[in-house]
Structure 1
Amino acid sequence: MTILLTGAGGFLGLNIVEALLEQGLDCVALNDRALPTDFCDRSGLICEVADVRDRSAMAEVLRRHGIRSVIHAAAVTLAPGSALTTVERAFDVNMVSTAILLEEVRKAGIARFVYPSSTAVYGAALFEDAPVTEATPPRPASVYGYTKLASERLVAETAGHFGLSCVRARITALFGPHERETGTRDLMSLPFQMARAAQSDKEVILPEGLRRDWTSSRDVAAALVLLAIAPKLPSDLYNLGLGASWYPVLLARQLSENHPRWHHGIGRADGSDCRLILHDDPTRTRQPLVATKFEQDFDFRFRSPEAACRDYAQWLKTPTAPPTQDIPDHAT
């Protein structure tokens, strides 16, 4: 079975490539630039460099490789004041490419279309008291969230109108192997920033009480592969995340084993003495995604925070881990 993966060179994309190959599946990895060199010669992997918004290129890739399933992971984020992209580009890549690819998938008779979405579609609901399930009404509060929700609805409408087998997966905050600076993500995860600081022996002060449901990128990649190859889909919408929030000191302890001289500590709850870039107000409680439906439908379990932190720390010791980079001082 051959699966087309767009956005293959991104953080999630590289994890999906590995998950597909581990399952013995053939992967056509499409990206707008070459994949890292350590991926290029892997058995079962075909690399294509193309713009996912290029309709003729997408049609040719689908035809030439006999694609049976598509995971459309190509996307760009957009944080307020972004220097990496524009609102126009975010809409173009996140929405227009989805419309183009859906049309070509329909014409080619592809068996399955998997759309990785984001918790950004839930927006303000993430900071309220109720559990965040697939039934939680979307309330995006960012341009990125609006582009992902609009693309989700396009996928659902296309599936309903043409009878395509499509599934949307709302993914929580990720951390783990293959996160690196690519120029398409405005904010790197807090765990990545911690790992980079540890590699540079730069002290990290973590906000007291900060907890989020960071989930292993490897687990989410494996979940997306299951959605791509499942003979039948019990649902067309799933949350993907470990379902529990945890304090990043768990990762700090693992990183300290790799870097014994590195120091970390606990600081003010508001993060005012934290030199890392925080994605949101650390004093606010953010609800973890509830992924019970996916776990039950596919007999799947996301690894615990402790296990995910150990896995990431072990990967950081391998030659494929990203190089050490300096961290700017964001303390006020």
Structure 2
Amino acid sequence: MIVVTGAGGFVGLALLDHLLGEGHPVTAFNDRPLPRPALDRFAALPGALTVIEGDVRDAAALRAALRGARAVVHGAAITLGPKGTIAPAETVVDVNSLSTANLIEAALAEGVGRIVYPSSSAVYGAAPFEGEPVVEDRPPTPAGLYGFTKLMSERLLLDARRRHGLSTVRARITAVFGPYERDTGVRETLSPPYQVAMKALAGEPVRLAAGGARDWTSSRDVARALALLALADEPPHDLYNLSLGETWHPSRLAEAFAADLPGFRYEVVDGEEDDGIAFNDDLGRQRQPISSARFAADFGFRFMPPAEAVADYARWVLGDGRTYLGSLNGA
């Protein structure tokens, strides 16, 4: 059995979808009910799903959830952006880092075989703007509270690995977009591709700033990668970047919607973001991708390139996503 914390986030839901589709028994640990359209889909998949509502700051609840687990993917987090307005610092630290200490203690007590930790490229700070792809050996230099909490959790996992022999893997995730993304209230800025998708479904025109290209990576690929790290024999490394390895602009997604939605219009304009499409990055600087060459070499893994990832997301949005997004956006 595999436990997924933060299972109601869009990466968590994508991971549940993948694991259940492969027939694995999964326990979803989340602080609120999972979305009904997602549960309806999961019920048709071959794997068995157990849902536990609980708070990752509750050490006893975590230990109970981990009983009998083979591995745990600890995805619970508050994704604070530059504004830092969605939660007080104390709450962010407790959810993002104290929970990791609780999880390690619970995993050791219950004999869990592995912890996979979805960390973030935020630990690299401004490195992606310095002209070269970012590799795992790059010293971490987080610039904000979110990055510091992710690095703190990484350090706790390293300590558990060295002192207790616990199998831990840190996976630094870059800019994720794709199926199951919605506004859950724990991410300060939703991805620009998601924002474009919502405007397209609403029949609203989109104006995008010319900057803002990032290594937007499909939630499906991130889910497959996290599942692989949870289920594999001991990985050759305990730290991996997860990224498709190249940057692309959200206008590529707008172009895909324009081809399938008569009347949908978009344009790319010079200057800052426009028309309500929010970005976290400095749009005046070119961002380099983080490199996933290590992960590809160790596991033979292939991320969807931009054209494939965009087409896959557009199909989902205009298919199953219509019901999912229509019923749950803002819920």
Query: Which residue number corresponds to residue 61 of structure 1?
Result: 65
Aligned-pair RMSD on alpha carbons?
1.7
Deviations 1:117-137 (A, max 9, x none): 001000011110232000111
Letter in 2 for 1:181: D
Question: CA 1:163/1:126 → structure 2, altered by over 3 Å: closer, same or farther?
Answer: same
1:10 and 2:9 are equivalent in the alignment = yes
Distance in 2, matches of 1:182 and 1:193, equals 14
Letter in 1 for 2:326: P
Structure 1: tracts of 5 or more residues without a match:
328-332
Letter in 1 for 2:285: R
Deviations 1:307-331 (A, max 9, x none): 111111111122543128999xxxx
TM-score (norm. length: structure 1) = 0.93
Distance in 2, matches of 1:282 and 1:323, equals 30
Letter in 2 for 1:321: Y
Between Structure 1 and Structure 2, the one with more helix by share is 2
Q: 1:232 aligns with which of 234, 246, 271?
A: 234
Q: Is the 8 A contact 1:78 1:87 kept in 2?
A: no
Distance in 1, matches of 2:141 and 2:227, equals 28
Deviates more, 1:271-280 or 1:46-55: 271-280
Distance in 1, matches of 2:115 and 2:61, equals 18
Q: Is the 8 A contact 2:182 2:328 kept in 1?
A: no
Structure 2: tracts of 5 or more residues without a match:
none
Q: Is the 8 A contact 2:216 2:247 kept in 1?
A: yes
Letter in 2 for 1:32: D
SS in structure 2 at match of 1:47: strand
Equivalent pairs, count: 323
Distance in 1, matches of 2:300 and 2:65, equals 33
Q: Is the 8 A contact 1:112 1:165 kept in 2?
A: yes
SS in structure 2 at match of 1:288: coil
Question: CA 1:202/1:149 → structure 2, altered by over 3 Å: closer, same or farther?
Answer: same
TM-score (norm. length: structure 2) = 0.94
1:32 and 2:35 are equivalent in the alignment = no
- The alpha-carbon deviation at position 169 of structure 1 amounts to 0.2
Q: Is the 8 A contact 1:9 1:36 kept in 2?
A: yes
Question: CA 1:313/1:73 → structure 2, altered by over 3 Å: closer, same or farther?
Answer: same
Q: Is the 8 A contact 1:13 1:73 kept in 2?
A: yes
Identity of aligned residues (%): 47
Distance in 2, matches of 1:35 and 1:56, equals 21
Distance in 2, matches of 1:3 and 1:161, equals 24
Query: Which residue number corresponds to residue 291 of structure 2?
Result: 290
Q: 2:111 aligns with which of 103, 109, 112?
A: 109
- The alpha-carbon deviation at position 257 of structure 1 amounts to 2.9
Aligned counterparts, 1:1-150, within 5 A: 2-40=1-39, 42=43, 43-63=47-67, 66-150=68-152
Distance in 2, matches of 1:325 and 1:15, equals 16
Q: Is the 8 A contact 2:76 2:95 kept in 1?
A: yes
Letter in 2 for 1:7: G
Deviations 1:60-97 (A, max 9, x none): 1222xx11100000000122444421111100000000
Question: CA 1:84/1:305 → structure 2, altered by over 3 Å: closer, same or farther?
Answer: same
Q: Is the 8 A contact 1:177 1:217 kept in 2?
A: yes
- The alpha-carbon deviation at position 290 of structure 1 amounts to 0.3
Deviations 1:193-230 (A, max 9, x none): 10111112222112225421100010011000000000
Q: Is the 8 A contact 1:207 1:274 kept in 2?
A: no
Query: Which residue number corresponds to residue 185 of structure 2?
Result: 183
Distance in 2, matches of 1:306 and 1:52, equals 37
Deviations 1:274-294 (A, max 9, x none): 531121121201110100110
